[in-house]
């Protein structure tokens, strides 16, 4: 009797283990997707989320996880060991700082994160001047902004100096011969840590105007009153690359190729991006 009970117990134990093994196999299949981590400039939030939905429908074995922030913040996170497969910056500077093929001037720390042969110029954007709804201070252009900043009648919001949109704004202020530090000390410049924060301050009327990207103005329903020329701040190019540290380099390359295709470009162009080139 005891032997029979012992045998039954062993049989039940083995059966239970088989069930658990079966469940584990099912869970493994459910979670067997390639998790692709994409670090992208905050100005790409809406478009990249839309693109991810389409891509995942076509590639059900891939799950895309985004990290959106200023390009400077993303660069520091990558440098400090954050897991990332694809990096898309809103300026060349932050990508250059991770690219070993660049000289010491562009990459002073000699960082080596960009996978050779994968770096591309993906998109172009526009730097624009936006105002709150109704444009209470009747700011008509960048020229008008510069004059009113100089006479102290308006307050500007811009990105921090480590944020691409802030760096473009600094070039615009320099173009007009304006002293950013002096104006900021007078309380007529406030800052945002990325372009989304700057856009929010403009939309909420916390400042009289702000320098943002055309795509962010579009997404926020803001009508730009001016567009910066290349002479004012240079070209706004978004480079993209697969990283050497990626655990899924083939999947990352495939996604980067998809971003250059017609379907993805249609999404980008719908909000004001254009193909780089």
Which residues contribute to the annotated binding site for molybdate? 43, 71, 195, 213
Coil vs helix vs strand at 45: helix
Give the whole-angstrom CA distance, residue 186 versus residue 26: 63
User: Largest alpha-carbon pair distance within the chain?
Assistant: 101
In eight-state DSSP terms, residue 44 is G
> How is residue 167 written in tokens?
């760096």
Cα 112 to Cα 102: distance, rounded to the nearest angstrom: 10
**What residues form the annotated binding site?**
43, 71, 195, 213
Dihedral angle sign, alpha carbons of residues 252, 257, 260, 262: negative
Cβ contact 240:119 at 8 Å: yes
Is the distance from CB of 130 to CB of 209 less than 8 angstroms? yes
């Amino acid at each position: 009797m005891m032997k029979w009970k012992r045998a039954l117990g062993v049989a039940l134990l083995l059966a239970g283990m088989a069930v658990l093994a079966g469940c584990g196999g099912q869970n493994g299949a459910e979670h067997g997707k390639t998790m692709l981590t994409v670090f992208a400039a905050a100005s790409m939030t809406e478009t990249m989320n839309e693109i991810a939905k389409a891509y995942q429908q076509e590639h059900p074995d891939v799950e895309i996880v985004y990290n959106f922030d200023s390009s400077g913040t993303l660069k520091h996170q990558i440098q400090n060991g954050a897991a990332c497969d694809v990096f898309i910056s809103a300026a060349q500077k932050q990508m250059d700082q991770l690219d070993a093929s660049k000289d010491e001037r562009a990459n002073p720390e000699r960082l080596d994160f960009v996978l050779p042969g994968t770096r591309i110029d993906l998109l172009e954007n526009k730097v624009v001047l936006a105002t709150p709804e109704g444009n209470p201070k009747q700011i008509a252009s960048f020229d008008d902004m510069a004059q009113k900043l100089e006479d102290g009648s308006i307050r500007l919001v811009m990105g921090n100096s480590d944020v691409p949109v802030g760096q473009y704004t600094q070039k615009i202020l320099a173009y007009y011969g304006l002293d950013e530090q002096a104006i900021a000390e007078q309380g007529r410049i406030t800052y945002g840590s990325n372009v989304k924060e700057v856009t929010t301050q403009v939309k909420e009327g916390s400042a009289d105007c702000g320098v943002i990207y055309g795509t962010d103005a579009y997404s926020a329903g803001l009508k730009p009153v001016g567009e910066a020329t290349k002479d004012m701040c240079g070209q706004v190019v978004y480079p993209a690359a697969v990283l050497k540290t990626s655990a899924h380099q083939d999947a990352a390359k495939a996604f980067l190729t998809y971003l250059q295709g017609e379907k993805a470009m249609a999404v980008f162009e719908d909000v004001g991006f254009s193909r780089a080139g």
